[in-house]
Amino acid sequence: MTRSPCVRRVPDLIRALCLLVSVLGLGCGSGTSAASAPSPAPSPTPAPTPGAPGPINLAGTWAGTLQAPGVPARTVAMLIVQSVDCVDGAWHTDPAEYTGAISGYASQTSFAGSLSLQRPADGQGKCGVVGNTDGTLSGGTLTFAVSALTGECAAGGVPPSLTITLRRQ
């Protein structure tokens, strides 16, 4: 099968995002990961009235740090796609210890949705958790704060909460 030139140019991270979003069943809160119980999806932000500003623009490539209690800070990269107020994204740490996704809705001033964290089977053991998150964009810095992560871990623990702080690349 021959791929079109456009498909060959799609960065690996975008393909990973599409795969992650489809595997996790995410898409603006429309699904849940296997590691979590169903939770209500955030209500979509009403469409802006003509002339009113729309939702904040979070789309793009971001880089920064992941900080969590009891875990050394990690470098993190995130790719976010957005359609009007619907926001989805995929992230990973460097070194590749954790991966995850975000999914939710942007308003004119913030983001509300869920953030997942996965750990591969090697190292400390396979793990998958999810938590509700609020995101803020202030002065070019995007911050996602998760106050409680819940899910299943085969071995070892995961941080009870985390904060990801990013700058657009």
Evaluate if residue 19 carries a pLDDT over 80: no
- pTM to 2 decimals? 0.71
CB of 113 closer than 8 Å to CB of 102: yes
* Residue 153 exposed, middle or buried by CB count within 10 Å (0-12, 13-18, 19+): middle
The pLDDT tens digits of the residues spanning 34-86 come to 444 444 555 555 554 565 689 999 999 999 999 999 888 999 999 999 999 99
Domain ranges, residue 103: 9-35+57-168
| Number of domains the chain is built from | 1
